[in-house]
Chain A
């Protein structure tokens, strides 16, 4: 079935009045609860005009927060993407004992509070953490520094890519790869020429969601950051600092960048779902 036919209404609407009420209430709930906050971000950011808005974004602390956010995502997202591909390859192409346990463990970070995802790194590397003294002796800093931000972000976004790839690759099976290998292709060539083209859109989809969360993460990084302005403040933390300083325009200006990231992610994700629904895992077809 194509995307167009599957989204047709299934039962002919017999009561236009009921339909109208249902649609109206749904639109109202969505507009009031979901869309209004998005509008408010841009409204508040531009409340004192465009020059002030741009001024807030050009501030050195804002620039360094943007840079740090990009840096953290640039480390965390590729690592989780490589892990996702490796995990999906192992799980979908081979049979081994304990696979369901492995699947549960991969999903585990989704059910942990972001704050706990930050806390665990403090327990390991904080001043009174397990390796705290050792780090101090060697003059290394993890917590209240960039490595901590990266670790917390990796843990929070850990399952995103794997989750998109595993169901799709399980569904695709190993026949095509087996054929390529029988015809004499090397393992790496098989992966590059057969597997990768089959999973590229799902991989992109997973990376997209992973990146959005990595750049927008607040709770986990807030625990490990120490809120050192210009040094360990990512963009979401910068929003918090300005907001608590009653700098509303500054806070909402920074927030508008993150909201923009969210909108771009949503648009790209929707386009992928419409254009490549056949090449995404089953739950993503619309």
Chain B
């Protein structure tokens, strides 16, 4: 530590070849850094970091054995499989649906286009419990779609199909909103060039448009997946919550808490975070690969 009376250090020669690492805080004439950064860091620590630290620490009081035993319990393992498996399926289903809707919204002019555009965000705006009971009313055996499907012996609500429908509902806006701006900005010269060079419509789409959209599509799908894995409100009503069949991982956390098994609940929560994080890192790597290939 130097005080202001000490001899200032000899500045290092600045060259372009050796970019300077930014100082801890760069000087600025604007005021309020201490106040704003102070509020930010204190609030972030109290609301996010401290609680998450509690989540990271709590499972280990039952030891590694206990954590492994909790997670390998058939009911818990099945819930994790249901949550991650159906979430992946729903996110993958959202890809073509989202592409289709984004394509329609950006490429065609038709009456009601802007209303349709605004409605895409409805699953964001509708509280999850409301979506949950409404979807259940539609897809239960007494509901309009559920009764129709029942004629063919298909059970929609209170089965994995019901969970799947709720997760497709929740995830759709993520894909549309990720793809839409990229589709909007897509250079139409490139497409016209392809057309001039004799590409068919299908070639134009599969060789020019889709590769350019791939990174945005993947990011939309991974956002939808991440949301689906943790989703609770819209799923628990329609799922039926049968152990080993249609119980989702967040519900198992609630059940463990009701039994005052805090460590077990924290273990499931931590496992969910870890698996989601791993999945996001993997998808990120694919996305970097795709955008590099797209540029090359």
Contacts and interface: CB of A to CB of B under 8 A. Distances in A.
B101 A26 contact: yes
B68 interface: no
A127 to B, nearest CB: 7
B135 interface: yes
A13 B125 CA distance: 33
Interface residues of A, number: 103
Interface stretch (B10-18, B151-159, B230-238, B287-295): B230-238
A219 B250 contact: yes
Interface in A122-136: 122-124, 126-130
Contact of A259 (B23, B43, B126): B126
Q: Interface of chain B, helix or strand or loop or mixed?
A: helix
Interface stretch (A53-61, A174-182, A198-206): A174-182
A33 B168 contact: yes
Interface string A76-89: 00010011001101
Contacts of A126: 257, 262
B274 to A, nearest CB: 12
A96 B24 contact: yes
Given A114-B233, A121-B51, A154-B47, A37 B169 contact: yes
Closest CB pairs A-B (n = 6): A113-B230, A216-B127, A120-B51, A187-B31, A219-B232, A218-B233
A174 B28 contact: yes
Contact of B127 (A11, A25, A262): A262
Contacts of A183: none
Contacts of B22: 95-97
Interface of B: 21-26, 28-33, 35-37, 39-40, 43-44, 47-52, 54-55, 58, 97, 100-101, 103-110, 112, 114, 116-135, 137-138, 165, 168-169, 172, 181, 184, 186, 188, 191-192, 201, 226, 229-233, 237, 249-251, 253-254, 257, 260, 262, 265-266, 269, 272-273, 276-277, 280
A11 B169 CA distance: 30
A19 B266 contact: no
Given A178-B30, A243-B237, A112 B36 contact: no
Contacts of A13: 107-108
